[in-house]
Chain A
Amino acid sequence: MKALIDPQKCTVCGVCEDVCPVGAISVSETAAVVSDDCTLCGMCVDTCEFGAISLPEVGTGPKDDLSAYRGIWVFAEWRQGAIHRVSFELLSAARKLADKKGVPCAAVLLGSDLDGVAPSLLEYGADTVYVIDHPNLAAFTDEAYADSLVALVREKKPEILLAGATTMGRSFIPRVAALLQTGLTADCTDLDISEDGLLLQTRPAFGGNVMATIICPNSRPQMATVRPRVMRPEKDARNGRIEKVDLPEEVFRSRVEVLEVIPEEDTTARLSEAEVIISGGRGLQKAENFRLVEELAQLMKGAVGASRSAVEEGWAPPSHQVGQTGQTVAPTLYMAVGISGAIQHIVGMQGSKVIVAVNKDPEAPIFDVASCGVVADLFEFIPAFIQRLKKEG
């Protein structure tokens, strides 16, 4: 199967030919022609201003009675006592989607010794908070978390299930989707309801160079993980209720044994959680100079990132690397210090809200994605900026 061309609409303009990342489109005298190299990536569809390109439909029709599924659920991520902020963000988003569809909105809380934890979820718009409280859920394992959530989904049949795209969500939610035999879209940055009531899931692909909107037409629930810090948490209490759920013992089993959980004490190392990241690159010239980045990060209560070259030079450990082979981050503030902005780096940070670039080369590609550019010698600028921050505080 390959992309479909409507020869009536095709004007032979050739735009799609230039866009196809696998070179599968050529333009004949009468219409664009798609070769067997087509991977159905969809990149060409939106670039055709005449609407001549479409993709064939997935699947072989609805799996079962889709109308039996109702309501929007959010997996509430609990970590030793606290609920992760992303769960409140998602609940606020889910509340709006539920109102748009006219269906109930629920949160599902998994963990151990959960007394007193659930009420906070009611404040963010849940009509119901389902609580699965079991000692085997004290430490996270993919099997116990997925299998107990799946048991509840099978019983209650929600039409949509959302979770945070954290390391926890990205690890066990694919198991949930596979057990339920339904579609899953990772790392969404926007959610909406289509005219025919389907969940429109928009996410970055190719490292954020393109956006894709994805639907799950034939199976339920429609599942998505959503990037933290994209949605805004808003209090919206609705007289919801808390329901404790009893599930058969076998859903709490795990073949994996958790030997140790070691929290990272050094907050400058927690990149994926950080609201502020200060990153250093080759422009810092040597290991000692990396302290400038660390000092600024500490002052702003942020984490320390590094470009691939800074890691290869040994100035920062690999766990701090931002970019294609390191971590993808999207903090509120990303400050790139002495980083030129190779594409491998850009794809790992371009989703950040505010990007500040400090580089002495005004032609550096990092300025193409910056919201605020500082063309300066970082060895003058950063110490002066640190002084300015100290003066205020």
Chain B
Amino acid sequence: MKIVVCIKQVPDAKNVRIDPNTHTLVRQGVESIINPFDLFAVEAALRLKDRHGAHVTAVTMGPPQAEEALRDVLGRGVDDAVLLSDRAFAGADTWATATALAAAIRKIGDVSLIFCGKQAIDGDTAQVGPELATILDIPYATFVKELDLDGPDHLKVVRRTDEGTEIWRLPMPALITVLREVGDPRVPSLKHKMRAKKASIPVWGIRDVGLEEDRVGLSGSYTQVVRVFSPPRRSDRVMLQGSVEEQVEQLYRYLKEAKVPGL
């Protein structure tokens, strides 16, 4: 069984902050991390591999330095990796990203299962997984917290929704987006780290996956960012004063005035 895990390198949340005094954006560094939900996706794939045997390939689309992210997950036990990297991919919205990933997954070929994290922590859109499954014309399940094979070519998953949980059965090939409940990511092992260091990671550009410039990156995108700005700051903060009894009374009145429900 071939499994693909899609991962993304994202700026660390610490990098993007608002200066509390000037209210402008300040960068605190340029370090990148692997999107935390994608590490859960890697873990879900590796657990399935541990139980049933599988070949796990990690795919990322990004600048050349995104290779670091791929070496990291190779160190955790992923079998091999592909880097989609080309200047033409830059500026992709979720649609253009899904288009590129779909082309790469078609090239890998014969993939039974695709794992993605619930969402990335920079964009928080949760769109690439469902869009990717739709382009590949395969069924998908989002917000999955538990999963296992159910017979040779089906998957049983437990999803968490706003109202509770749902148990679904999907035919493979399928795509799954996962929550943290699938399991904490394992740490890289020495053995796999040695292998990861030496592994050769193919870099695929747009021609390698059979795409043209007008279908990827900014040219292949439907959505355009027109403005990015600091959120309006809370100017209404009150700090309560006095004894505990006085603070209790003040908070009670504060919440009443704010018409907070539940009082």
**Residues of A in contact with B (beta carbons under 8 Å apart):** 1-2, 15, 18-23, 36-43, 45-47, 55-60, 79, 140, 142-143, 146, 166-168, 170-172, 174-175, 177-179, 181-187, 200, 204-219, 254-264, 270, 272-273, 275-276, 299-302, 318-319, 321, 324-326, 328, 332-333, 343-344, 347, 353-354, 356, 367-377, 380-381, 384-385, 388-389, 392
Contacts and interface: CB of A to CB of B under 8 A. Distances in A.
B25 A184 contact: no
13 contacts: A21-B16, A41-B225, A58-B219, A142-B142, A200-B226, A254-B139, A257-B168, A257-B169, A258-B168, A324-B36, A325-B180, A333-B261, A376-B244
A270 B140 CA distance: 24
B134 A178 contact: yes
Contacts of A185: 223
Contacts of A186: 123-127
Contacts of B226: 200, 213-215
Contacts of B247: 374, 376, 381
A18 B26 contact: yes
Contacts of B37: 325
Contacts of B248: 381, 384-385, 388
Given A187-B124, A275-B262, A381-B248, A178 B239 contact: no
B244 A270 contact: no
Given A60-B214, A273-B163, A381-B248, A1 B91 contact: yes
B237 A385 contact: no
B112 interface: no
A373 B238 contact: yes
A211 B228 contact: yes
Interface stretch (B7-15, B50-58, B73-81, B196-204): B7-15
Contacts of A206: 11, 13, 16, 121-122
A218 B93 CA distance: 14
A210 B230 contact: yes
Given A213-B225, A214-B223, A389-B252, A1 B90 contact: yes
Contacts of A374: 240, 247, 251
Contact of A167 (B139, B143, B218): B143
A133 to B, nearest CB: 21
Nearest to B40: A325
A258 B161 CA distance: 13
A93 to B, nearest CB: 19
B263 interface: yes
Contacts of A261: 164, 166
B159 to A, nearest CB: 8
Nearest to A44: B228
A208 to B, nearest CB: 7
Interface in B23-55: 24-27, 30, 36-37, 40
B195 to A, nearest CB: 27
B91 A58 contact: yes
A39 B91 contact: yes
Given A58-B91, A325-B36, A171 B219 contact: no
Contacts of B162: 166-168, 270, 272-273
Nearest to A45: B228
Contacts of A344: 13
A19 B26 contact: yes
B227 A170 contact: no
Given A36-B87, A38-B90, A373-B240, A262 B223 contact: no
A270 B165 CA distance: 11
Given A79-B163, A210-B16, 9 more contacts: A45-B225, A57-B224, A178-B134, A181-B95, A259-B169, A321-B180, A368-B20, A369-B234, A371-B234
A381 B180 CA distance: 33
A40 B165 contact: no
A263 to B, nearest CB: 4
A372 B13 CA distance: 25
A389 B263 contact: yes
Given A261-B166, A324-B13, A375 B239 contact: yes
Contacts of A22: 11, 30
Contacts of B18: 209-210
B211 to A, nearest CB: 14
Nearest to B128: A174
Nearest to A356: B251
Contacts of A262: 164-167
Contacts of A140: 166
B131 interface: yes
A215 B13 contact: no
Contact of A215 (B142, B163, B170, B223): B223
Contacts of A171: 130, 142-143
A18 to B, nearest CB: 6
A353 B164 CA distance: 24
A45 B227 contact: yes
Nearest to B24: A47
A389 B256 CA distance: 11
Contacts of B94: 174, 184
Contacts of A300: 261-263
Contact of B251 (A142, A174, A319, A372): A372
B219 A270 contact: no
